[in-house]
Amino acid sequence: MLWSGWGDPAKAAELPPPVRRLLADLLGVRMPETPAATLDEVRPPASTLPPAALKALSAAVGEEYLRADDETRIRHTRGKSTPDLLRMRAGDASDAPDAVVLPGSHDEVAEVLRVCAEHRVAVVPFGGGTSVVGGLVAARDGFAGVVALDVARLGRLVSVDAESMVAEFEPGVRAPEAERLLAEHGFTLGHFPQSFEYATLGGFAAARSSGQASAGYGRFDDMVVGLTVATPQGTLDLGRAPKSAAGPDLRQVILGSEGAFGVITSLRLRVRPVPEVRAYEGWRFASFPAGVAALRRLAQEGAAPTVLRLSDETETMVGLARPEELGTFASEPGCLVIAGYEGTPGDVAYRRERAAATLTETGGVPLGPEPGEKWAHGRYSAPYLRDSLLAAGATVETLETACFWSGLPRLYEAVREALTASLGSPLIMCHVSHVYETGASLYFTVVTAQSDDPVAQWESAKGAVTDAIGQAGGTVSHHHGVGRDHLGAYALEIGELGVAVLRGVKERLDPDGILNPGILIS
Ligand SMILES: Cc1cc2nc3c(=O)[nH]c(=O)nc-3n(C[C@H](O)[C@H](O)[C@H](O)COP(=O)(O)OP(=O)(O)OC[C@H]3O[C@@H](n4cnc5c(N)ncnc54)[C@H](O)[C@@H]3O)c2cc1C
């Protein structure tokens, strides 16, 4: 993983000259005057960890699994939001942890937490490091230092209960490895977020992730049937049946807790058979509202596709155009729906036929498999393009929300208006990517020219959009989480009493407040 960008450097995407010209002509994008910092130019601040804490941490995990070198600290600094990357590109490693610990077992995690509580050291659980909401930037005030607790060594598939279709994993398994290990048993998780290549199972649970095939396989929190969590006050072992009437479901307290209540050290996950058939196709709708109405019917009538997404006019136009055509793309593309079906041949044929009838009835025009295959082929490539856009002087960032169907048009307009008011004339693209019987999520991608202070520029726009989302009745996050960036909006969303309930849980599990201070709740 690039320390100041995304993914495998070998997969870096070059911006074709017509795209560069278009960015300059349409958005006024200019090359930044200062080139991005190189790794050896970046210096994290001097470590503040007391020697006694370092000694105790080394004893807890073994000397070789306590790292305090500059490169390891830099590679555990922040997550992968655009402001995170802009700060790293500017050589700012001021949020670097003082050290990184890599425990190899649940007991070692528990011991690290004990040591950190004793020495008042803040702990940031670190999975794949792909948070886009500041979920890895803990507050330092009042602490002797900050350590990142990297779960990379907790990387095993522990067991597969094929009869129940439940697999137990350690939290540091990355999504591709989880799929590879499960495939040996004929199973899949079916969780394919755009961060698939790097994010971990523990991170998915901690941040309530949702993947591109959520219409068929469900969100990640739907897949979790059991959890083991190490907290400074002991171990929580949750989930002994798929559903239970034995009181409130404490699994739900841990899902989405973003490392503020404990470290997930084991997950029991519902798995599905590897699909025999995968078929993706495209449909065209005349307008975004027409497409939204079609998706709502699909979600409410049942037998929905496994993958279902609808791009608005702008996203459709940008996605359909070839780079050399972009400047002159004048036709009316309408709005593209991608429908994907995964399962047995019989199940795929049945759902495809039913969905096709609904899509046709609601005004859809079939485009055949090509747009679907193209989407499936490029589904993980956008983050690589972001690095090239940042280097070229454009800010590109995504944000997401959700609400009930009846509020969706208002929410869509509110976000666009707030972005336009804040950024001038940015390029705003949107898609509906996760649908439910009662509502859906909206996922926006924004491109604008970088100002002299692109971090402040984006933070101001993001603040305006977050307010607009709240006023329009949307949630501050459908799947990215709260982190630091959404702290205030989340508090407004759940209200004072809601925050007090979470504080009560935090105080019982983590009385010294060492776990991710300043993340999730203040
Ligand atoms: C390019 C890109 C595309 C993305 N696409 C999607 C997408 O399609 N869908 C989606 O849902 N998200 C997406 N994300 C966001 C991100 O990938 C998810 O939030 C993911 O769940 C984070 O997993 P991670 O392993 O990287 O966790 P991290 O980023 O390491 O951690 C996330 C949070 O969880 C905590 N945490 C991590 N591991 C544990 C643990 N074992 N126990 C307790 N707390 C823990 C951390 O302290 C942090 O607060 C995307 C991010 C990027 C950069």
Q: How far is ligand 1, taken at its centre, from the CA of residue 197, in Å? A: 12
Q: CA 147 to CA 68: how far, in whole Å?
A: 9
- Is residue 327 very low, low, confident or very high in pLDDT (cuts 50, 70, 90)? very low
467 sits in which H/E element: helix 454-471
Q: How far is ligand 1, taken at its centre, from the CA of residue 353, in Å? A: 36
pLDDT above 50 (res 480): yes
Angle, to 10 degrees, between the axis of helix 454-471 and the axis of helix 408-423? Answer: 150
DSSP states along 81-113: SHHHHHHHHTT--TT--SEEE---SHHHHHHHH
As a whole number, mean pLDDT of residues 419-439 equals 96
**Percent share of the chain, pLDDT over 70:** 98
Which one, of 73, 69, 175, 185, lies nearest residue 130 by Cα?
175
Closest atom of ligand 1 to CA, residue 479: 11
Q: CA 98 to CA 137: how far, in whole Å?
A: 12
Closest atom of ligand 1 to CA, residue 79: 29
Ligand 1 pocket check: which of 130, 146, 191 to mutate, most ligand atoms within 8 Å of Cβ? Answer: 130
Cβ atoms 516, 124 nearer than 8 A? yes
Q: How far is ligand 1, taken at its centre, from the CA of residue 428, in Å? A: 24
Q: How far is ligand 1, taken at its centre, from the CA of residue 329, in Å? A: 36
Q: How many residues does the chain have?
A: 522
Asked whether the CA dihedral 285, 286, 288, 292 is positive or negative, the reply is negative
Range scoring the smallest mean pLDDT among 33-42, 106-115, 312-321, 373-382: 312-321
C-beta atoms surrounding 242 within 10 Å = 10
Range scoring the smallest mean pLDDT among 217-221, 287-291, 323-327, 346-350: 323-327
With left for phi above 0 and alpha for psi between -120 and 50, is residue 133 left, alpha or beta?
alpha
Is the Cβ atom of 188 under 6 angstroms away from ligand 1? no
The residue whose C-alpha atom lies closest to atom 49 belonging to ligand 1 is: 135
Cβ atoms 212, 307 nearer than 8 A? yes
The residue whose C-alpha atom lies closest to atom 11 belonging to ligand 1 is: 209
Closest atom of ligand 1 to CA, residue 81: 53
Is the Cβ atom of 204 under 6 angstroms away from ligand 1? yes
Q: How far is ligand 1, taken at its centre, from the CA of residue 131, in Å? A: 4
Is the Cβ atom of 134 under 6 angstroms away from ligand 1? no
As a whole number, mean pLDDT of residues 189-206 equals 98
Is the Cβ atom of 152 under 6 angstroms away from ligand 1? no
Is the Cβ atom of 259 under 6 angstroms away from ligand 1? yes
Which one, of 138, 266, 254, 250, lies nearest residue 200 by Cα?
266
Is the Cβ atom of 106 under 6 angstroms away from ligand 1? no
The residue whose C-alpha atom lies closest to atom 50 belonging to ligand 1 is: 195
Q: CA 104 to CA 112: how far, in whole Å?
A: 11
The residue whose C-alpha atom lies closest to atom 44 belonging to ligand 1 is: 259
Closest atom of ligand 1 to CA, residue 193: 8
147 sits in which H/E element: strand 145-150
Closest atom of ligand 1 to CA, residue 125: 47
What is the predicted pLDDT for the residue at 336? 95
Is the Cβ atom of 343 under 6 angstroms away from ligand 1? no
Cβ atoms 515, 260 nearer than 8 A? yes
Cβ atoms 54, 99 nearer than 8 A? yes
pLDDT digits (tens, 9 = 90+) for 214-259: 999 999 999 999 999 999 999 999 999 999 999 999 999 999 999 9
What is the predicted pLDDT for the residue at 186? 98
To the nearest 10°, report the CA torsion of 112, 7, 459, 29: 160
Whether the pTM exceeds 0.95: the reply is yes
**Percent share of the chain, pLDDT over 90:** 92
Is the Cβ atom of 480 under 6 angstroms away from ligand 1? yes
Q: How far is ligand 1, taken at its centre, from the CA of residue 350, in Å? A: 35
The residue whose C-alpha atom lies closest to atom 9 belonging to ligand 1 is: 193
The residue whose C-alpha atom lies closest to atom 7 belonging to ligand 1 is: 193
491 sits in which H/E element: helix 487-509
419 sits in which H/E element: helix 408-423
Closest atom of ligand 1 to CA, residue 151: 41
What is the predicted pLDDT for the residue at 321? 62
Cβ atoms 227, 270 nearer than 8 A? no
Closest atom of ligand 1 to CA, residue 209: 11
* b/e code 149-162 from CB counts within 10 Å (16+ = b): bbbbebbebeebee
Ligand 1 pocket check: which of 150, 209, 380 to mutate, most ligand atoms within 8 Å of Cβ? Answer: 209
pLDDT above 90 (res 320): no
Q: CA 411 to CA 444: how far, in whole Å?
A: 12
Structure-model confidence comparison of residues 17 and 453, the more confident one = 453
Q: How far is ligand 1, taken at its centre, from the CA of residue 415, in Å? A: 24
pLDDT digits (tens, 9 = 90+) for 383-417: 999 999 999 999 999 999 999 999 999 999 999 99
Per 3-state DSSP, what percentage of the chain is helix, strand, and coil (rounded to 5)?
40, 20, 40
As a whole number, mean pLDDT of residues 33-43 equals 95
What is the predicted pLDDT for the residue at 322? 57
Ligand 1 pocket check: which of 195, 385, 445, 479 to mutate, most ligand atoms within 8 Å of Cβ? Answer: 195
Task: Reduce the secondary structure of 357-387 to three states and give it as a string.
Answer: HHHHHCCCEEEEHHHHHHHHHCCCCHHHHHH
Q: In what order do the strands lie in the sheet with 335-343?
A: 365-368, 277-285, 335-343, 307-311, 427-435, 439-449, 394-404
Cβ atoms 96, 77 nearer than 8 A? yes
Is the Cβ atom of 479 under 6 angstroms away from ligand 1? yes
DSSP states along 182-251: HHTTTEE-----TTTTT-BHHHHHHTT---TTHHHH--HHHHEEEEEEEETTEEEEE-SSSS--SSS-TH
With left for phi above 0 and alpha for psi between -120 and 50, is residue 256 left, alpha or beta?
left
Q: CA 67 to CA 75: how far, in whole Å?
A: 11
Q: CA 392 to CA 394: how far, in whole Å?
A: 6
The DSSP 8-state label assigned to residue 23 in this structure reads I
The residue whose C-alpha atom lies closest to atom 31 belonging to ligand 1 is: 203
Ligand 1 pocket check: which of 131, 222, 441, 475 to mutate, most ligand atoms within 8 Å of Cβ? Answer: 131
